[in-house]
Amino acid sequence: MQKIKALIVMALLLAACGGNSGDGADAKSSAAKQKSYQWKMVTTWPKNFPGLGSAPENFAKLVARMSNGRLKIKVYGAGEVVPAMEVFSAVSSGTAEMGHSAAYYWKGKAPASVLFTAIPFGLNAQEMNGWLHYGGGLELWRELYAPFNLVPFAGGSTGVQMAGWFNRDIQSLEDFKGLKMRIPGIGGEVFSRAGGTAVSMPGGEIFTSLQTGVIDAAEWVAPYNDLAFGFHNVAKYYYFPGWHEPGAMLEFTVNKEAWQSLPDDLQAIIEGAARAINQDMLDEYTARNNAALIQLREKGVDIKSFPADVEEALRKFTDEVIAENVANDAMFAKVYASFDTFRKNVMEYHRISEQAYFELRDANL
Amino acid sequence: MQKIKALIVMALLLAACGGNSGDGADAKSSAAKQKSYQWKMVTTWPKNFPGLGSAPENFAKLVARMSNGRLKIKVYGAGEVVPAMEVFSAVSSGTAEMGHSAAYYWKGKAPASVLFTAIPFGLNAQEMNGWLHYGGGLELWRELYAPFNLVPFAGGSTGVQMAGWFNRDIQSLEDFKGLKMRIPGIGGEVFSRAGGTAVSMPGGEIFTSLQTGVIDAAEWVAPYNDLAFGFHNVAKYYYFPGWHEPGAMLEFTVNKEAWQSLPDDLQAIIEGAARAINQDMLDEYTARNNAALIQLREKGVDIKSFPADVEEALRKFTDEVIAENVANDAMFAKVYASFDTFRKNVMEYHRISEQAYFELRDANL
């Protein structure tokens, strides 16, 4: 009977170990491999908000399928566990194992974070992905977030955004004077230098703030998202293109201890799913912005671009703001050097490829 | 002893079942989940060729990690198992479980296949991904390949390509007369209509064919790949942009029975890894084309674009070729209708976003 009991115990242990027990993997590692995980992901977006909010849901679904249910991630909207602007802190402290947000919201904690979302006159989505994954960008992002106990991943891109909603026709730089605008990151610093006042607030608060006159202007994303929030009901002019956010990159963050607790296959599943969803979000925006643009046009929104001298002035102020950030923060200087070199190089090739093709197609189609 | 033997058998069965045996999953499904698979992937590229060849290798590595070694895929270069242009047939017949190639090589078998790689004046990489994943493109691709026993996935993009290598300065349409050029797909049909002769051959044969005068001109990809093949040693002029391939999409194909034999988690791992590598390949090209372009310039290559009237003529011939394909093949007509609608819509939005941003940045940076 002793022998039989021993065999039963062995049978149960082997069962718990999973199919790899025959491959010579030691019992401890196999047990970790079959352990199940229940994680929380906090986000900066309203629950299930188009694009921004569907990406983390799609990520959680893909991870659950790929891991055969061993890693289940429950996604929370802004305010459900922590407020929109506390995602970084919550994942850093371990309140949640993962977060989905945008790095430039944390510029108060780490000035260089803005470079991993978007800066004025910076990289578009394709270029950001090139820099992050083949230009050294992701390694710098990991270095920047390490002191905060966070492991970052590219988490989707909106593509080139719009320049935002205004109730004043911008005919010269003078028209920015006295305007209070919701605009985060370096774009916000530039807008303030151009005579306005930049305000930071989560997307969910913009509509009411515009309606009640707390702010006079706001940038959010682009037609697909902006239509969902109904900004056309409280603003008259819609400017393009997004000089300040040419390819806003979102972020997945993972708490470092939570990350280290995972076996290699689940780490690979998170890495793979993040890359897959990083592309999927851009695909969604690319396919859906135009239908929303048509609806906005039908609603009588005035869609236009800034005068060339305003764009030129924004460029000049951007140079000043960047130079100050470079002078004040060593890590900003280090990341910007990498970013700026990549930009110079990729622009040179894109002039004869992506950009030249757009112009060729436009002239002939 | 009978009892002990029975317990040993049970122990082994349970071990084979893996950790899910305790979750109430039935033994058959759990056994399938823990089964290991060894697959072959045949490709159209020289083994480990930059970009095109590294993508399938990266795919296999990611799948092996995510599946904890349960799905191992061995990648073969062109000619190792089957010739470059027999990838489609080999996966269709089950000689290999997977393939990595480009759909437009199969236009003899399925004319509409060209629409899933690239057509002249068509979609760039970002737009192709939008159409495939949020515009109905992938469903049509699945429908097209179903009779061939194949399940297709987007398998990476090169971005906007170059228009190709010539030994003749193209000053007017007359200069295409009598030229033999390696150029596949609809681009090739258009080139033939413009007075030249289109030739189809795998990448690995282009250099020698140019050198020996079997062909007078060739398009392959873009600087990163073209430098690797050394075309600058056998051709003088390098034209941009790739009017015929504005975002050549590669493909992963899976044999249908092999696909159906996989449990859901391994299917999800293939889907996720394909999306991840689909983006990763574009990132690699985006980061590496410019360094190669600089080297080509230093080697004295004359890099230029076609005159506007040549581009206009190519557009006119493209319309004719497309109209004939639409008239001759019902599936081509069905897929093209979806493609063309998506193009019209996305162009409208990209004029005020991606394209407008390139122009804004170029004017100010």
Spatial separation of the C-alpha atoms in residues A138 and A23, rounded to whole Å: 35
Among B20, B67, B68, most A C-beta atoms within 10 A, so best to mutate, is B68
Would the CB atoms of B342 and A287 count as touching at under 8 Å?
A: yes
Contacts of B15 (CB under 8 A, 6+ apart): A11, A14, A15, A17, A18, A19, A21, A22
Given a cut of 80, whether residue A5 has pLDDT beyond it is: no
Would the CB atoms of B160 and A357 count as touching at under 8 Å?
A: yes
Residue A1 forms contact with B (CB below 8 Å): no
Digit-coded pLDDT (tens) for B162-207: 999 999 999 999 999 999 999 999 999 999 999 999 999 999 999 9
Q: Is the peptide bond before A241 cis (omega within 30 degrees of 0)?
A: yes
Distances (CA, A) of A341 to A141, A153, A346: 16, 22, 9
Q: pLDDT at position A16, please?
A: 38
- A 10 A CB-CB count for B204 gives 16
| Mean pLDDT in residue range A272-279 | 98
Q: Which residue is closest to A157 within chain B, CA to CA? A: B126
Mean pLDDT of chain B: 92
* pLDDT confidence tier of residue B29, bands split at 50, 70 and 90: low
Would the CB atoms of B354 and A159 count as touching at under 8 Å?
A: yes
Q: pLDDT at position B34, please?
A: 79
Q: pLDDT at position A22, please?
A: 35
Q: What's the burial of A3, exposed, middle or buried (CB within 10 Å: 0-12/13-18/19+)? A: exposed
Q: Which of A11-20, B110-119, B257-266, B341-350 has the lowest mean pLDDT?
A: A11-20
Contacts of B217 (CB under 8 A, 6+ apart): B164, B165, B166, B167, B168, B179, B180, B181, B182, B183, B196, B210, B235
Residue B29 forms contact with A (CB below 8 Å): no
Given a cut of 90, whether residue B33 has pLDDT beyond it is: no
Q: pLDDT at position A21, please?
A: 36
Spatial separation of the C-alpha atoms in residues B297 and A342, rounded to whole Å: 19
Given a cut of 80, whether residue A158 has pLDDT beyond it is: yes
The percent of residues above 90 in pLDDT, for chain B, comes to: 90
* Inter-residue contact B118 to B246 (CB < 8 Å): yes
Spatial separation of the C-alpha atoms in residues A39 and A187, rounded to whole Å: 34
A7, A159, A240: residue with CB nearest B7: A7
Distances (CA, A) of B193 to B107, B117, B196, B318: 17, 21, 7, 9
Digit-coded pLDDT (tens) for B37-67: 999 999 999 999 999 999 999 999 999 999 9
* pLDDT confidence tier of residue B20, bands split at 50, 70 and 90: very low
H helices within A168-263, ranges in order?
Answer: 185-193, 206-211, 223-229, 256-260
Residues 155-174 of B with CB under 8 A from A: 159-162
Residue A27 forms contact with B (CB below 8 Å): no
What is the H or E stretch that residue A333 is in? Answer: helix A330-352
- A 10 A CB-CB count for B158 gives 29
Q: pLDDT at position A15, please?
A: 39
* pLDDT confidence tier of residue A34, bands split at 50, 70 and 90: confident
Q: pLDDT at position A256, please?
A: 98
Enumerate the residues of chain A whose CB falls inside 8 A of the CB of residue B120: none
Residue A126 forms contact with B (CB below 8 Å): yes
| Closest by CA position to A122, among listed A356, A332, A344 | A344
Digit-coded pLDDT (tens) for B275-318: 999 999 999 999 999 999 999 999 999 999 999 999 999 999 99
Residue A121 forms contact with B (CB below 8 Å): yes
Q: pLDDT at position A32, please?
A: 58
Token digits for B213? 């005068």
| Mean pLDDT in residue range A60-71 | 98
Q: Which residue is closest to A30 within chain B, CA to CA? A: B19
- ipTM value, please give it: 0.91
* pLDDT confidence tier of residue B6, bands split at 50, 70 and 90: very low
Largest distance between two CA atoms of chain B:
91
Q: pLDDT at position A18, please?
A: 37
Q: pLDDT at position B240, please?
A: 98
Mean pLDDT of chain A: 92
Q: What's the burial of A62, exposed, middle or buried (CB within 10 Å: 0-12/13-18/19+)? A: buried
- Tell which wins on pLDDT, B102 or B2: B102
Contacts of A10 (CB under 8 A, 6+ apart): B11
Q: What's the burial of A241, exposed, middle or buried (CB within 10 Å: 0-12/13-18/19+)? A: buried
| Closest by CA position to A353, among listed B158, B365, B281, B187 | B158
- The alpha carbon of residue A345 is apart from the nearest alpha carbon of chain B, in Å, by 6
Given a cut of 80, whether residue B12 has pLDDT beyond it is: no
- A 10 A CB-CB count for B200 gives 14
* pLDDT confidence tier of residue A176, bands split at 50, 70 and 90: very high
Contacts of B99 (CB under 8 A, 6+ apart): B41, B42, B43, B87, B88, B90, B91, B251, B252, B253
| Mean pLDDT in residue range A292-300 | 96
Q: pLDDT at position B10, please?
A: 43
